[in-house]
């Protein structure tokens, strides 16, 4: 059975576009919803252009009431019956209660070679540490931030003179390859780790 995929975004949505465009033909999944936590998320228009249903659950009116924000997201998601949730540049921390609702069916892409550099400013931290390589990881989401089983990684060398921006520009195209490659496998229950290049 074709898997139904909801993609959660906060920003430009380039990973969302890569995921959505990959889900055609023989692919075992299809995008059914792009959900953003802000109406300003640039990816919403791109999703609509791709013919994907979109929704916004703005976190701001909920203030510190994370449970109420998540309940509203759950309601919106449930209306589209997703089997898999892909976080793609979604910049809100999710509680264990919310994550556990999806019973291991939630994925995230993080711009570091996890378990290194959970959280923010990953590229700056890799450069600062003198790392010789950097990259990105796709992992299953658990209640712990940027934790959970790693399903794929892509690596690039850190070059002399790299800045967080040049490193990000080198890694982002790999994110666009890695995430679809992992999702394609995950949708048929294959949890073997994808390594790029």
CB of 54 to ligand GRF, least distance (A): 14
SS3 label, residue 40: coil
Selected binder of ligand GRF within 3, 5, 7, 15 (CB under 6 A)? 15
- Tell me, yes or no, if 110 is annotated catalytic: yes
Number of residues that bind ligand GRF (CB under 6 A): 16
CB neighbourhood size of 129 (10 A): 11
User: Residue 13, interface with ligand GRF (CB under 6 A)?
Assistant: yes
Residues near 52 by beta carbon (within 8 Å), at least 6 away in sequence = 20, 31, 32, 33, 34
User: Residue 11, interface with ligand GRF (CB under 6 A)?
Assistant: yes
CB neighbourhood size of 169 (10 A): 12
User: Residue 14, interface with ligand GRF (CB under 6 A)?
Assistant: yes
The token pair at 59 is 């976190």
* Residue (of 172, 166, 104) closest to 139 by Cα position: 104
User: Residue 175, interface with ligand GRF (CB under 6 A)?
Assistant: yes
Residue-wise DSSP of 60-71: GGGTT-HHHHHH
Of the candidates 59, 110, 123, 139, the residue annotated as catalytic is 110
Selected binder of ligand GRF within 89, 105, 148, 180 (CB under 6 A)? 89
- Catalytic amino acids? 110
Catalog residues that contact ligand GRF under the rule CB under 6 A.
9, 11-16, 43, 88-89, 109-111, 136, 172, 175
């Amino acid at each position: 059975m074709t898997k139904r995929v909801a993609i959660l975004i906060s920003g430009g949505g380039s990973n969302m576009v890569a995921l959505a465009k990959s889900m055609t033909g023989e692919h075992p999944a299809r995008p059914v919803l792009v959900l953003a936590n802000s109406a300003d998320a640039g990816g919403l228009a791109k999703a609509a252009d791709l013919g994907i249903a979109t929704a916004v659950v703005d976190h701001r009116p909920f203030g510190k009431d994370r449970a109420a924000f998540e309940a509203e997201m759950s309601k919106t998601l449930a209306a589209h019956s997703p089997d898999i949730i892909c976080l793609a540049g979604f910049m809100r921390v999710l509680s264990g209660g919310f994550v556990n609702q999806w019973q291991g069916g939630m994925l995230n892409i993080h711009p570091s070679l996890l378990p290194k550099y959970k959280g923010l400013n990953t590229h700056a931290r890799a450069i600062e540490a003198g790392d010789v390589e950097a990259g990105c990881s796709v992992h299953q989401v658990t209640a712990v931030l940027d934790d959970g089983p790693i399903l794929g990684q892509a690596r690039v060398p850190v070059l002399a003179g790299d800045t967080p921006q040049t490193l990000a520009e080198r890694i982002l195209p790999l994110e666009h390859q890695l995430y679809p490659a992992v999702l394609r496998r995950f949708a048929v229950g294959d949890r073997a780790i994808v390594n790029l290049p």
